[in-house]
Amino acid sequence: MELESVILTTGGSVGFFKLVNIGVSKLPIPETACRNPWKWRNISTSCVHSLITATWAVLCFFLHPQMAEDLIETHSVFSHVLVSFSIGYFIYDFFDMVGNQKLSQSWELLFHHIVVITCFSLAVVSCRYVGFAVVALLVEINSVFLHLRQILRMANMGARTLYRVNSMINLGTYVVFRINTLAWMTRWLVLNRDKVPLLAYTLGSVGMAIMTAMNIVLFCRLLRSDFLKSSTREAKKEKET
SS3 assignment, position 73: coil
Residue 25 has pLDDT above 70, yes or no: yes
**Measured distance CA(130)–CA(11) in Å, rounded:** 19
Encode pLDDT of 55-88 as tens digits: 999 999 999 999 988 888 889 999 999 999 999 9
Calculate the alpha carbon distances from 141 to 11, 127, 136, 171, 224 in Å.
Answer: 24, 24, 11, 12, 22
Question: Could you give the residue ranges of the DSSP H alpha helices within the chain?
Answer: 3-25, 37-63, 77-100, 103-126, 130-136, 140-154, 161-173, 180-191, 198-223, 229-240
Whether the Cβ atoms of residue 178 and residue 211 lie closer than 8 Å to each other: no
**Measured distance CA(177)–CA(142) in Å, rounded:** 6
DSSP 152: H
**Measured distance CA(134)–CA(156) in Å, rounded:** 34
Conformation bin of residue 156: beta by default, left when phi > 0, alpha when psi is -120 to 50: left
Contacts of 62 (CB under 8 A, 6+ apart): none
Task: State how far Cα 20 lies from the chain centre.
Answer: 17
**Rounded mean pLDDT of 36-44?**
95
Calculate the alpha carbon distances from 225 to 42, 88, 149 in Å.
Answer: 22, 32, 11
Encode pLDDT of 72-129 as tens digits: 888 999 999 999 999 999 999 999 999 999 988 889 899 989 989 999 999 999 999 9
Residue 227: what pLDDT?
A: 79
Range of the domain at 165: 3-239
**Rounded mean pLDDT of 130-139?**
94
Encode pLDDT of 138-185 as tens digits: 999 999 999 999 999 999 988 889 999 999 999 999 999 999 998 888
Whether the Cβ atoms of residue 5 and residue 77 lie closer than 8 Å to each other: no
What is the total count of domains within the chain?
A: 1
The pLDDT confidence band at residue 202, using thresholds 50, 70 and 90, is confident
Of the candidates 205, 195, 198, 29, the residue with the CA atom closest to the CA atom of residue 119: 205
